[in-house]
Amino acid sequence: MAKSAIFKPSLFGLKHSNRDFSQKETWGKNQFNSSFPASLCAYLDGKGLKNVYLKLDENLKIQPAELSTQELYGLAPDSDNLFGSTESVMQNY
């Protein structure tokens, strides 16, 4: 019988993050809700899809638009130079 692989708990595409998904509290409402959108963006990129967002035009009418995850981050979502530091203090401020 072959051994089954043991995977570390994670969200899709979040290779470098300040979240430790092996900890139960990381899957709670407040922490999960702030990490999931980044994972969804990575998933969409992996499927070759763009993110849909809503913006206002000059007449304050809602306009749907598309933006690739790479355009959003300025990097590919699987880049080793991308680090997700959710809900951390921005050092420049």
Q: What is the pLDDT of residues 38-72, one digit of tens each?
A: 999 999 999 999 999 999 999 999 999 999 999 99
**Rounded Cα–Cα distance for residues 39 and 34 (Å):** 10
What tokens appear for 41 in the block? Answer: 């963006």
pLDDT of 2: 65
Residue 93: band (very low, low, confident or very high) from pLDDT cuts 50, 70, 90: low
Strand ranges for the chain from DSSP E: 51-56, 62-67
pLDDT of 1: 58
Query: Contact at 8 Å (CB) between 39 and 14?
Result: yes
Q: Which of 45, 51, 33 is nearest to 79 (CA)?
A: 45
Cβ-Cβ contacts under 8 Å for 36 (sequence gap 6 or more): 11
The neighbour count for residue 77, using CB atoms within 10 Å, is 23
Average pLDDT, the chain: 87
